[in-house]
Structure 1
Amino acid sequence: MRKIFYALTILSGIGCASTRISAKDNSTGYLNENMPASWNYSTSVTASEPPEDTDWWLNFDDLLLDSLIDEGLKNNYNVSMAVKRINVANIQVRQAMSGYYPTVGLSGAYNYSRNAGAISGSSVPSSTSSHFSLGAKMNWEIDLFGKIASQVKDKKSLLKVSKADFDGAMLSIAANIATYYMNMRTFQEKIFVTKEHLASQAKVVEIAKARFEAGLVSKLDVTQAESVYYSTEAQIPQLETSLNEAVNALAVLLGVYPDAIRPRLSAAFIPPQYRHLVATGIPADLLRRRPDIIAAEAQLESYATRIGIAKKDYLPNLSLEGTIGVAAHNAKDLFGKNSVEYSITPTLSWTLFDGFSRKYAVQEAKEQLEEGIDNYNLTVLTAVNEVDNAMSSYLASLQTMDSNSNGLKQSTESFDLSVSLYKQGLTPFTNVVDAQINTLTYANSLITARGDALVSLINLYKALGGSITAQ
């Protein structure tokens, strides 16, 4: 059956472009020559030597993250269910292959019958007969036109779908674990930084109190200092709640209870690196390894095969039926020379009319294929969008980090100057308050941007189906 080519709508690196695919690619059976060769963005980020494509999380160089993902991939219930679906698909392939072989059965019986003599005449007496029998029966449907082979091919395509779904589950779970881990680290860092600022603000409160007690300023300075202090203190419970939720989410993904991993997660850590992971010019061809695209393509193969199966129902069926056994009136004569009986019945059957059932079956298979083509196109389009969004989000996060880093540097200097001038009575306390608020705001924004950059990288790996390397 001739191959069907699939329409594909794609996005370019920055703008949008709609194209249709109408040629065949020798490597995969589908062509995406109109897809952009790579995603090029203006960035100074340089690439490091990447790990294996499937172990993309090793890029973050975080041993705890590595161990968590390893545990999650072993214990997660979604992975376990995906493995069982692969086992079912394997069994279905073997079940379809059983159609190549004949069906053989054994039988044994004792028959006792009475024939009415009145059938022949009113004076004819009835007669009885009895006999024992043993035998074997064989039925074999010859795969004359390849229908069974097509059914096996269909099941093998569905096995590919199950394997791709398993890979997709593994990729999704690893990405979710990494995302919640980065979120957890972001909240931990925010709590640490907030407590540092809280200690600094406590010192400012003491300075304001000392100047008030010395009669140099009014109590307004003290209340303003304490207001900033308590406002900062109020942020900690919220951050701790968010941290706890991230830990609970990680526990679910790992298939354990939170207390089992909490001690490891509370240990000191070094924030993951994020500026050396992405190179400019990511090949768009990497999308072909995405599990959902592989699954959509395998599903299309299954739909195309089903059209062939439906059309083969128009052709005749050839089957071979045979029996062999022994029969005798007395059980002791079952294996005598005159007790053997057998029959061989080759049968060619051909359905000429079935109320158009086969016609509608072919139409149904064609509609399923059209639906599969639409799903394939949508899957690829979604993949391109996800890569584009992840890349732009990552680069935007880097720019935001640079801005917040500069802002934090200036606000920290402003805070130090304002406190020094306030001690000398050369500036109002409102300048100290503004500097305190701005410093904490920039610090939190910088941490948030760093977390966003890490999550964007995770989304990029997930969108590409692995590390950013050509296969």
Structure 2
Amino acid sequence: MKDIRRTLGGRAFRLAIFSLALAVIAGCAVGPDYVRPQAPQMQEWLEKDDAGLKHGPAELAAWWKRLNDPVLDRLVALAAERNPSLHVAALRILESRARLGIATGNQFPQLQQLQGSVSDTGLSRHNANTTPAIDRYYATASVALDAAWELDFWGRFRRAVESGAWSVDAAMAGYDDLLVTLTAEVARVYVTLRTLEQRLFIAHENVALQERSLQIARVLHQGGDVTELDVTQAAALLAGTQASIPRLEAQLRQSKNGLSALLGMLPGEADRILGGPGPVPQVPSEVAVGVPAELLRRRPDIRLAEAQMAAQCALIGVAQADLYPRFSLFGTIGLSASNAALTFAGYPGGSSLGDLWSGESLQYSGGLGFGWDIFNYGRITNNVRVQDARFQQLVEQYKNIVLTAARETEDALTAFSRSREEVAFLEQGVAAATRSVEISMIQYREGLADFQRVLDTQRSKVQVQDQLTATQGSVLTNLIATYKALGGGWEFRFGKDFLPQEILREMSGRTDWGALLESSVSGETDGGSRE
């Protein structure tokens, strides 16, 4: 027994030393190291001279709060908590973390399996007669630990871990990108419905004004001062204005239903949060937009594209590792016993299964193996090419996303600046149209102007008032588009759970998630990619 232990210990020691030497040699990893590609980048915004834009650090972390609307603040918070699509993005983070755990585990012995068996054997009489040294009936018991470890000689598993870590970053960036889109969409829909409420209010005001004009025309017609044409024209104008109200009400209902969906609610459930009609939020006097260079760090879709690109770069190394031999350590150690009576070669008979736990039942084997796909007919090389082509596709996609980000930001800034200028002109137009209606009504009652003049001024007022209200809403939606294009809003997740507690409890009750669910709180990082 001591000789076996001494022999086993000596061989195990030499095997461990050899494994350590291989691990030292395996300090390199095949395949390219990721380097961020160069992408076209603007030095300054084209709208830099606009008086309403500040060039200091962008104020984007919770940009909607700059609109000073408590209802909007509440809606954004509810959407971040309840939106199902955002929950899916959070679950992708958990999935990517679990996949990273698989890749990390592959760096260690891939097989560590405890096996045991008990078998009962009965030989045929013919076989027993041909091997008289063995009992015809006997039982065998064994227990063993099998282990196998493919050494990471060429960095296959390290590259897989690298790819998995970047995939976690990609999942995080995907969550942030959806959060940016969600907050912007909630704000846009909210501004749209508040604008529709204001347009409905103005439409009802104009209906009241036109009803008074119609009444005046009827009175004058009955007195013989005007013809029936004035009455019919007044009635036609009134009917046209009244017809706009159902259309606006339908759009308002649809906007509220859309808002309910963003909040993870059924249609109508968001109404209690909105309350009655409210004012359109006010545009801040100045908007800080920062500099174009911040887009690469701030916009989650750019960070997502880079993380996907880096993860794919590591997969090139995984594929290249298949071009080289694989080295593995393997071994088995265990106990085995049988009650078969051996009566040849000097073996005494009478052993039993109870000897399984004795020192004489120890057995082991182990060694070093390698495998090399030397004839693969181009499969491995072409797989490397496939991975490299996919990487280059992502490089070009990354550059395109950077270009798209710059275009979207410039488009939003231009629309915001020009729509504010449009509002200034429309405000002058509304003031003039309102005064024109007053003058035409006075002149009409005094017989100094015909009714067509009254109709024209009222029609002009309806149009310019509605256009002003819609444009005021456009200023806000263009501002929201600017904040979205700048990548604002994802910092809202800092210090919060990615998933609601009820989902976490449901998952933990179904599956052992260990520390992955415990770490479901968002980390307070700047969102920058790995270097």
Per the normalisation by structure 1, the TM-score is 0.88
Measured in 2, the distance between the counterparts of 1:407 and 1:88 equals 57
Q: Does 1:354 align with 2:376?
A: yes
Q: Does 1:80 align with 2:87?
A: yes
Measured in 2, the distance between the counterparts of 1:214 and 1:462 equals 61
**Deviation readout 1:236-255 (Å, 9 max, x if unpaired):** 11110111111111111111
Measured in 1, the distance between the counterparts of 2:401 and 2:377 equals 38
Measured in 2, the distance between the counterparts of 1:392 and 1:65 equals 25
Measured in 2, the distance between the counterparts of 1:2 and 1:50 equals 33
Aligned counterpart, 1:105: 113
Aligned counterpart, 2:450: 428
Measured in 2, the distance between the counterparts of 1:162 and 1:367 equals 22
SS in 2 for 1:326: strand
Which sits farther off after the overlay, 222-231 or 367-376? 222-231
1:356 shift after superposition:
1.9
Measured in 2, the distance between the counterparts of 1:388 and 1:51 equals 15
Which letter does structure 1 place at the counterpart of 2:106?
G
1:221 shift after superposition:
1.7
Query: What are the within-5 Å matches in structure 2 for residues 229-244 of structure 1?
Result: 229-244=238-253
Cα 1:259–1:444, aligned 2, differ >3 Å: closer, same or farther? same
Query: What are the within-5 Å matches in structure 2 for residues 313-462 of structure 1?
Result: 313-329=322-338, 330-462=352-484
Structure 2 residues without counterparts, runs of 5 or longer: 1-31, 339-351, 492-525, 527-531
Aligned counterpart, 2:346: none
Query: What are the within-5 Å matches in structure 2 for residues 39-438 of structure 1?
Result: 39-45=46-52, 47=54, 53-102=60-109, 103-111=111-119, 127-128=134-135, 130-279=139-288, 282-288=290-296, 289-329=298-338, 330-438=352-460
Measured in 1, the distance between the counterparts of 2:106 and 2:275 equals 58
**Deviation readout 1:10-59 (Å, 9 max, x if unpaired):** xxxxxxxxxxxxxxxxxxxxxx4xx2333434433255999963322112
1:290 shift after superposition:
1.0
Measured in 1, the distance between the counterparts of 2:489 and 2:360 equals 76
Which letter does structure 2 place at the counterpart of 1:161?
A
Aligned partners of 1:118 and 1:126 also within 8 Å? no
**Deviation readout 1:205-230 (Å, 9 max, x if unpaired):** 22222222232222222222222111
**Deviation readout 1:339-359 (Å, 9 max, x if unpaired):** 111122122333322222210
Which letter does structure 1 place at the counterpart of 2:105?
S
1:267 shift after superposition:
1.8
Cα 1:89–1:421, aligned 2, differ >3 Å: closer, same or farther? same
1:263 shift after superposition:
3.5
Measured in 2, the distance between the counterparts of 1:355 and 1:127 equals 51
SS in 2 for 1:162: helix
SS in 2 for 1:344: strand
Which letter does structure 2 place at the counterpart of 1:6?
P
SS in 1 for 2:357: coil
Measured in 2, the distance between the counterparts of 1:50 and 1:468 equals 16
Measured in 2, the distance between the counterparts of 1:355 and 1:176 equals 53
Measured in 2, the distance between the counterparts of 1:468 and 1:212 equals 64
1:125 shift after superposition:
5.0
How many residues are paired up?
444
Cα 1:254–1:277, aligned 2, differ >3 Å: closer, same or farther? farther
Measured in 2, the distance between the counterparts of 1:468 and 1:442 equals 38
Aligned partners of 2:55 and 2:290 also within 8 Å? no
Aligned partners of 1:109 and 1:134 also within 8 Å? yes
1:285 shift after superposition:
1.7
Which letter does structure 2 place at the counterpart of 1:323?
T
Measured in 1, the distance between the counterparts of 2:266 and 2:422 equals 36
Aligned counterpart, 1:15: none
Aligned partners of 2:154 and 2:321 also within 8 Å? yes
**Deviation readout 1:67-105 (Å, 9 max, x if unpaired):** 111111111110111111111000000111111222311
Cα 1:302–1:457, aligned 2, differ >3 Å: closer, same or farther? same
**Deviation readout 1:171-224 (Å, 9 max, x if unpaired):** 111111111111111110000011111111111122222222232222222222
Aligned partners of 1:116 and 1:126 also within 8 Å? no
Q: CA-atom RMSD, angstroms?
A: 2.6
**Deviation readout 1:361-415 (Å, 9 max, x if unpaired):** 1111111011111211111111111111111111221122122111111111111
Per the normalisation by structure 2, the TM-score is 0.78
Measured in 1, the distance between the counterparts of 2:360 and 2:263 equals 72
Which letter does structure 1 place at the counterpart of 2:118?
Y
Aligned counterpart, 1:8: 39
Aligned partners of 2:66 and 2:284 also within 8 Å? no
Which letter does structure 2 place at the counterpart of 1:466?
G
1:153 shift after superposition:
0.7
Which letter does structure 1 place at the counterpart of 2:416?
Y
Aligned partners of 2:184 and 2:481 also within 8 Å? yes
Aligned counterpart, 1:14: none
Structure 1 residues without counterparts, runs of 5 or longer: 10-31
Measured in 1, the distance between the counterparts of 2:267 and 2:442 equals 46
1:468 shift after superposition:
13
Aligned-pair identity in percent equals: 28
